[in-house]
């Protein structure tokens, strides 16, 4: 695993710690990475998170910027950004 993959886990942890809603919908560039990292969370936190395919249906969009396939300009300001060695590794944008 690399820090891009693990950054999704850190991002999901951030969301469940800072968003008190009982149900949080997330989307991102690589759904399989969100699904895999969701499994690393506690059962209670895992239950609160739903991974959705369409970012328009999500509360948050997570990206590592490795594959520019989403319209990032729709999300001008990141809610959270994770950095390693000064480099942006993951950003979380609030969609709703």
Whole-number Å distance between alpha carbons of 44 and 78: 26
Provide the pLDDT confidence category of residue 79 given band limits of 50, 70 and 90.
confident
- Compute how many other C-beta atoms are within 10 angstroms of the C-beta atom of residue 17: 9
Q: What residue spans define the domains of the chain?
A: 3-94
Model pTM?
A: 0.86
For 8-64, write each residue's pLDDT tens digit.
Answer: 999 999 999 999 999 999 998 888 989 999 999 999 999 999 999 998 899 999 988
For 53-78, write each residue's pLDDT tens digit.
Answer: 998 899 999 988 766 655 566 776 78
User: Three-state SS for 52?
Assistant: coil
Please list, in sequence order, all residues whose beta carbon lies within 8 angstroms of the beta carbon of residue 78, skipping any fewer than 6 positions away. 91, 92, 93
């Amino acid at each position: 695993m690399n820090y891009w993959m693990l950054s999704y886990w850190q991002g999901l942890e951030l969301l469940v710690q800072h968003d008190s809603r009982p149900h949080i919908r997330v989307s991102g560039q690589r759904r399989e990475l969100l699904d895999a990292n969701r499994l690393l969370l506690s059962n209670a936190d895992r239950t609160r998170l739903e991974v959705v395919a369409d970012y328009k249906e999500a509360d948050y969009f997570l990206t590592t910027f490795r594959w520019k396939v989403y319209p990032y300009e729709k999300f001008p300001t990141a809610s959270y950004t994770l950095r390693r060695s000064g480099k942006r590794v993951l950003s979380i944008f609030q969609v709703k």
